[in-house]
Amino acid sequence: MKITTYSYPRAALIGNPSDGYYGKTIAFVFSNFRAEVNLEESDRLEIVPGSRDHLKFNSLEGLVNDVNSYGYYGGIRLIKAASKRFFEYCQEKSLKLDEKNFRISYESDIPNRLGLAGSSAIITAYIKALMQFHDVQIDKPHLANLVLSVETKELGIGAGLQDRVAQAYEKPVYMDFDRELMEQRGFGEYVPFDADLLPDIYIAYKIDLAEGSEVTHNDFRERYEKGDETVLRAIDEWGTISETVYKKLQSGEKDSIGDLLNLNFDIRSKVMNLLPDNLRMVETARKCGASAKFTGSGGAIIGTCPNEDVFERLKTELANIGAAVIKPQIVNNG
C-alpha cells in the first residue's frame, strides 16, 4: 500500500493574529506550493530525511545559508512530533491502530518561515496519510486541533488555530474562536464558503525576511496575558473587521474590502514591533494601488488587486525590493 497526501500554504485574509486570542479570522489555502507526504508499508518504521534536513554541506557558508532558510530544525522533528501526538490521540479516543510499520518521506516547496504555515502543512499532510494508513476518521475541527497540538504542546511553538483549520477544510473559512465555544468543546465556529466570493487577490513574499512565528508572537502573548488594554482592544477590533468582511463577501461586496485589510495591518503596526523591510513591502504595495497586510507572522503580504495594471505594477515595484508576487490558486475542495 502506498499513500500520497498533500497540504497547502495558508493565507490569512483578515483578522490575524487574533485567532490565538478568541478572535475572528478568514483564511484560505492555495495550491501554488504544497507539502507532499508519501507513506508505504514496510518492515520497520522509517523516516526519510527531506530537503530541509541537510546534514552535509559544501562549506561553512552553505551551512549558515541553510540555517537562515530553515532555522536550526528541519522536517524530521515535525514528523516525529506528529507521530507521537497521533498515537496519543488514538489512545485517548480508543481508536485501534493496525500493527504494521511504514516508510515515510516528505517534500515541500512552500516558502519557509514566512507566515505561510509551511510547518503545519507538512504535519497536516502526514496525519492525513496516517489516517488513511490506519483507517482512522478524524473530523475537520479535531484534525485542526490535533495538528496545532503537535506544534504547541509537543514542540513549544507559538501558533494559533486558523492555519490548521484552513488546511483541514481546504476551502476559504470564516472562523469565530468564541471563548465560550473554545472552552466548552475545544473549537470555534467554522464556516467554509466558496472561493468565488473572494475578490482578486495577490500574495507577495520576500525570502530573506524569514522568521518563525514563535519569534513574532511571544511578546504579544505576554502582553495579552497581563491584560494590556491596547492589545485587548486590538483583538476586539480585528474581530469586528473580520465579521464585517465576511458579511461583505456574503452579500457580493467583495470589491469593497480592501480598506478593511489595510486597517487590519494598521492596527497591527501599532501593537507589534515590525521589521522595516516588512513595512516597506506593505507601503510599496499600497503605493501601487493595492491593499496590503501580512498573510501571517511576517515575510509575506496579501491584499486585493483592483485590475491587471495594478498587478503588473506590483510585480515590478516589489521585485525592485526583492519580493516575488503571485496570484494564489485558491483551493476550493468540498
Stronger pLDDT, 297 or 310, i.e. the higher one: 310
CB atoms within 10 A of CB 124: 31
CA distance 291 to 318: 14
Element (DSSP H or E) covering residue 28: strand 24-29
Query: Each residue of 84-137: pLDDT tens digit?
Result: 999 999 999 999 998 899 999 999 999 887 889 999 999 999 999 999 999 999
For the cut 50, the answer to whether the pLDDT of residue 191 exceeds it is yes
CB atoms within 10 A of CB 76: 15
Query: Each residue of 37-89: pLDDT tens digit?
Result: 999 999 999 999 987 787 888 899 988 887 877 677 778 999 999 999 999 99
Where in the sequence of the chain do the CATH 3.30.70.890 domains occur?
195-326
pLDDT attached to residue 219: 80
pLDDT over 90 percentage in the chain = 79
For the cut 90, the answer to whether the pLDDT of residue 28 exceeds it is yes
CA distance 175 to 158: 19
Where in the sequence of the chain do the CATH 3.30.230.10 domains occur?
2-192
pLDDT attached to residue 53: 83
CATH code reported for the domain at 2-192: 3.30.230.10
pLDDT attached to residue 32: 98
Q: What is the DSSP letter of 21?
A: G
**Has domain 195-326 been given CATH number 3.30.70.890?**
yes
> Measured at the alpha carbon of residue 188, what is the angle toward residues 184 and 194, in degrees to the nearest 5?
155
pLDDT-derived band at 213 (thresholds 50, 70, 90) equals very low
User: For the chain, what is the total number of helices (H) and then of strands (E)?
Assistant: 11, 12
pLDDT-derived band at 193 (thresholds 50, 70, 90) equals very high
DSSP 142-156: HHHHHHHHIIIIIS-
CA 110 to chain centre: 11
pLDDT over 70 percentage in the chain = 96
Closest CA to 206 of 305, 298, 317, 329: 298
Task: Please identify every residue annotated as catalytic.
Answer: 163
Q: Are 106 and 126 in contact (CB under 8 A)?
A: yes
